Structure 1
Amino acid sequence: MIRRVIIGITALAAVLVAPAPAPAESATAQHSALVRTDTGWVRGETTTEGWQFLGIPYAQPPVGGLRWKSPQPVRPWQGVRTAQDFGNRCVQTASWDPGYDRPSHTEDCLDLNVYVPEGVGRRPVMVWLHGGGLTAGAGEDVVPDTFARQTGAVVVTVNYRLGAMGFLATAGLDGEARDGVSGNFGMLDQQAALRWVRANIARFGGDPGRVTIAGESAGGRSVCTQMASPTAKGLYRAGIVESGAYGNCAARTRPTAVAAGAAFAKKVGCAELSTACLRGKSAEEILAAQAGFDWGPVVGGAFLPVQPFEAYAKGAAARVPVLNGANQDEGRMFAFAQFDSTGTPLTAERYPSVVKAVWGADLGERVLQRYPSADYPSPTLAYGTAFGDYLMACPALRLGGVLASRGPVYSYEFADRTSPPFASLRNLGTSFDFGATHVNEVQYLFKHFGLTTPLNAEQRTLSRQMIQYWGSFIRGGVPRAAGQPGMPDRTGPVLSLRTASQGGNTLSTTVHQEHRCDLWDSAVPR
């Protein structure tokens, strides 16, 4: 996760069997793990938490002539398709995350997973878009079966194309640039998954009229982008953005993205931007050549006419409720990865030059004044604090402000500095103080990488409270937890999420000041 998130932010087949005799069409109607989708029957499995259906295709494999094309509808199949194993991960490198010790070179990856709690009736739905810097990760990164049971929601997790496979922009591949498709294939995959949900989720006991899109990091950025996309209109009723407002959710401009696409094509050996040449390259070759490029959505065209913040400010974006926030110590993970993990902790002597290299001489000098290394346990933590405020905390508050004029927006900050580092960091065996760093809140909501996080009694209580907050929002109400303050609407206080011994969940009016957002807001181009 460390490497995949940094790269993204800084650059940042199934067995068919004989047809079954007319089983029940709803998983919840007769407690069946056999469901008929609009393209065929799928057989999931019963778990201690309900039912799960894994690796269901929502679009044709984007291979051959469909590489760098808009996602195409799945062809119907005969018989019953087994849906008890995760599908392939989209093309990506290996990473330090559990289970990601080998790269994936598989393009047949446009699958989703459905988790259904016990009970009957139409359930609210949450569609989770994974993080990983838009270059890594998969829907299987979170297992939300317990979350589904505790909230009473049907949860869907999604794979989508990544890196160059998902975000290559050119002057025109088979005319794909005319309507803003080029460079946005991964985002269009997400919309195709949402259309699958609209068409099929009722068969799993979900309510297609109560869909919340949610995600963390690049998944949160995806939600931020989808809320500004006219072509996503009507596919959801609410959004959850966790640590996803970095860079003000901005997309690449088309000239910048096309220039990068040309440079990538040259690097992979297709200097003339030939469709046949690009589609003739192996996934291994594409993956090797994509390093060093910034991969992400592209503004311009029908998919994303204007930048997300501009769309929000002008009222051109979806007017839906939003739950939005970030973590108190977002930057510590990035600082650790840049310095301490390489055996070169940042020193007081190097601190000024590193700061000015990142933010320039003028802004860098102001950063040094506001974040003097002597005020922190180490220069690495000083840099991590500044970087986290700049990258995540203040953009999240900025997003809350621009969203406040067009509908309910509920603001939180995950501030449990006692939280155990998430699994990728725990596996490193380091004593580095990560605090409430990037990604850490995910393990309080779901089984991160399918693992049970070693939470103590207080942290388990906070986890239950966070699930209640998220659950009440997904069900269509104000985010609330039993015996706890409600999450504030619009601008003003922010709900700070902490364990009881650290002060508990409180409404804070000082988050903006704590993250020195006056400094970072003044540096945003107008």
Structure 2
Amino acid sequence: MPPHPRLLRRARRIVLSLAVATAALTPLSARADQPSRPAGGPVLVRTENGWVRGETTTEGRQFLGISYAQAPVGDLRWRAPRPAAKWKGVKDATRYGNYCAQNTYWAPGYDKQHTTEDCLDVNVYAPPPGPGGRHRGKLPVMVWIHGGGNIGGAGRDIVPDTFARRTHTVVVTLNYRLGAAGFLTLPGTTGNFALLDQQQALRWVRANIGHFGGDRTRVTLAGESAGGSAVCAQLASPGSRGLYRAAIIQSGVFGDCAGATRKKAVADGIAFAAKLGCTEPAGAADCLRAKPTKEILDAQRGTGPDLWRTTVGGRELPLQPADAFASGHAARVPVMNGANSKEGLVFAYDSFDRWGTPLSADTYPKALTSTFGEETGTRALDRYPLGAYDRPGYAYAAAFGDHLFACPALRINPRLAERGAVYAYEFADRTSPWFASLPQHSDFNFGATHAAELNYLFKPYGRSADLNTEQHTLSAQMTAYWGSFLHGSPPHAKGQEAMPEQGFRPGRVLQLRTASAGGNAATTTLRAEHHCGLWDAAPDAVRLRGTP
């Protein structure tokens, strides 16, 4: 049976929080709501829609809150995005745009409900120009899709200005519609509006990124958590073909990237609309378009964890991504795919310890069976015995993370390899800094948990993580791996083992570790270490791999 809804709701909430609040509690290099203090005067760039004024910073140039689509309000609700209108004069691009409509949670900046739907913006970060004020040719581009469980977050949640400078690339982050606004499917609508938003942002990049020094022919689509799952879906979506040349999936293959069948999605959509008094299925979309945003957001509270995901079976996503990969009906571009070694730690903490109810030897077996079902939970008790862990919460975390992240990432690699090159990694620094949303004085060891790798690549929320000397070295190496991939070569770093390509070395994965933990090294033992034989045969894993 599938995981218990209560625990899945907590998992969804903590994914959302971590995706928007990752970083150690270190001094800010800038205000939390703006990335970098300006180091120079304004910068003018002419886009296809009109002039924008950005600014120079200590890391390069940045242009914030540029509209890539019209506001999806009124009659444009639950419709494909329309290109942004042209404007006259010069548009200020020195501050972020609006958050997309979403409910509250405890992450910084999300302490109030956001009801604005005019939010389809991009942020552009470019490195400093070379001598003479110009770059040598156009630079590779990374387009980043934020995480947040498909119900929260924003493009501003990571600040990649230092990454852009170090990798000599242009980085674009984007907003997309969330929750009901982005994933509701009703009779007469296509659903998948979040995917369509992301595709429209990619079209904006193709049309405009050259004005910012980027190369429209060398775009890599990347994302983490729900953002990584979106990348997975875009690989299988015909509508995004030709808009990017490579892809990066970070901790995004949970559930094998599976979406809901159209039949289920429409049934769920009709039930959601009925909660708001829109009881006639044929007219539900028009009825909901007349509802205030706040009323729709209030109705989202308490909805199930599987309600807001992609819809499979239409032209936007004809096949489940895993099936599209295996059958060759997916984009044939290089892919970098990976997860973290201890993904489940923060989920275990949030399910139990955060609420003052840590697992004990007596409650641990029931936690496994209530999460994974009686049969699978009982088998997991043998694979994750309490004697192998310092506390029951760590044992539960290992099972949860292996089931939800590690094994799906390893399982999908052979399918990805059917349609092109795929490079595999596992982030494994067990001493990684903690997140701002976690208690800094807890004795719970979070280590290489979900989203921990973001501290080594970017500045989540504009904050530079408090890395020690070894971790700074690992950060530089990871930046080199990611940067080399953006530049079109297999991921590599000077003096380090290259990231294995799965078609050439199937099952071989590069573990990213500090020197004292063994350094970066490829291994073939991860399937055994994560007990993937158990999770690949689990009933819910089989269900999620099915076709619509």
Q: TM-score under structure 2 normalisation?
A: 0.88
Partner of residue 249, structure 2? 241
- 1:24 maps to none
CA drift at 1:32: 7.3
Instruction: Give the Cα–Cα distance (whole angstroms) in 1 for the partners of residues 491 and 108 of structure 2.
Output: 32
Aligned partner of 2:168 in structure 1 is 152
- The equivalent position to 2:230 in structure 1, one of 212, 215, 222, is 222
Q: 1:157 & 1:423 partners in 2: Cα distance?
A: 21
Aligned-pair CA distance for 1:114: 0.3
Aligned to 2:12: 6
Partner of 2:342 in structure 1?
Answer: 329
Q: Residue type matched to 1:6 in 2?
A: R
34, 49, 53: which one pairs with 1:43? 53
Answer yes or no: is 1:463 the counterpart of 2:463: no
Report the Cα offset of residue 372 of structure 1. 1.4
Matched residue SS, 2:409 = helix
- Which of these residues, 475, 495, 502, is aligned with residue 483 of structure 1? 495
Question: Are positions 1:422 and 2:438 aligned together?
Answer: no
* Equivalent AA in structure 2 for residue 220 of structure 1: G
Report if the CA contact (8 A) 1:4-1:133 is conserved. no
What is the aligned counterpart of 1:162 among 170, 178, 199? Answer: 178
Report the secondary structure of 2:144's partner residue. Answer: strand
Matched, 1:111 2:121: yes
Superposed counterparts of 1:503-522, under 5 Å = 503-522=518-537
CA distance in 2, matches of 1:384, 1:263: 34
Higher mean alpha-carbon deviation, 112-121 vs 273-282, is at: 273-282
Q: Secondary structure of the residue that 1:187 maps to in structure 2? A: helix
1: distance between equivalents of 2:273 and 2:497? 53
Indicate the residue corresponding to 1:402 in structure 2.
415
| Letter of the 2:205 counterpart | V
What is the correspondence of 1:72-471 to structure 2 with a 5 Å cutoff?
A: 72-119=82-129, 120=135, 121-172=137-188, 176=189, 181=190, 183-273=191-281, 274-291=284-301, 292-293=303-304, 294-425=307-438, 429-471=441-483
Q: In the TM superposition, what is the alpha-carbon distance from 1:5 to its structure 2 partner? A: 6.1
Q: Which deviates the most, 348-357 or 162-171?
A: 348-357
- CA distance, structure 1, for counterparts of residue 413 and residue 285 of structure 2: 42
Q: Distance in 1 between matches of 2:285 and 2:480?
A: 49
Deviation at 1:522, TM superposition (A): 2.0
Separation in 1 of the partners of 2:109 and 2:285?
34
- In structure 2, relative to structure 1, the CA distance for the partners of 1:338 and 1:98 (3 Å cut) is same
| 2:71–2:119 Cα contact (<8 Å) kept | yes
Counterparts of 2:429 and 2:237, CA distance in 1: 34
Query: Structure 2: which amino acid aligns with 1:57?
Result: S
Equivalent residue pairs, number: 497
Residues 128, 251 of structure 1: CA spacing in aligned structure 2 closer, same or farther, 3 A cutoff?
A: same
Q: Partner letter of residue 49 of structure 2?
A: T
Q: Give the superposition deviation at 1:474.
A: 0.5
Structure 2 Cα separation of the partners of residues 38 and 276 of structure 1: 32
Partner Cα separation in structure 2 for residue 297 and residue 318 of structure 1:
18
Aligned-pair distance for 1:270?
A: 1.6
Task: Give SS of 2:425's match.
Answer: strand
**Is it true that 1:54 corresponds to 2:64 in the alignment?**
yes
Aligned 8 A contact 1:5 1:133 in 2: no
Contact 2:14 2:350 in 1 (8 A): no
Partner of 1:499: 514
Change (3 A) 1:81 1:447: same
Higher-RCO chain (CA-CA 8 Å, sequence separation at least 6): 2
- How far residue 4 of structure 1 moved from its aligned partner, in angstroms, is 8.5
Q: Is the 8 A contact 1:413 1:494 kept in 2?
A: yes
Q: Deviations over 1:305-351 (max 9, x none)?
A: 11000000000100110000000000111111100001100111111
For 1:14-29, what aligned pairs fall within 5 Å after superposition? none
In 2, Cα distance between the equivalents of 1:298 and 1:83? 34
Give the Å deviation of 1:457. 1.1
Q: Percent identity?
A: 58
Tell me, in whole angstroms, the C-alpha distance in 1 between the residues paired with 2:277 and 2:331. Answer: 41
Could you tell me which residue of structure 2 aligns to residue 16 of structure 1? none
Counterpart contact for 1:330–1:388, Cα < 8 Å? yes
Q: How far 1:3 sits from its partner (Å)?
A: 8.1
Helix, strand or coil at the partner of 1:33: strand
Shift of 1:217: 0.3
More displaced stretch, 245-254 vs 429-438: 429-438
Contact 2:249 2:337 survives alignment (8 Å): yes
CA-atom RMSD in angstroms: 1.7
The answer to whether the 8 Å contact 2:410/2:507 transfers is no
State the Cα deviation string for residues 436-477 of structure 1 (Å, max 9, x = none). 000100111000011111111111111111000000000000
Q: Which amino acid is 1:163 matched to? A: G
Amino acid at match of 2:46: R
Query: Deviation digits for residues 52-80 of structure 1, max 9, x if unmatched?
Result: 00000000001111111110111100000
C-alpha separation in 2, matches of 1:369 and 1:108 = 51
Shift of residue 263, structure 1, vs aligned partner: 1.2
Give secondary structure in 1 for the equivalent of 2:84: coil
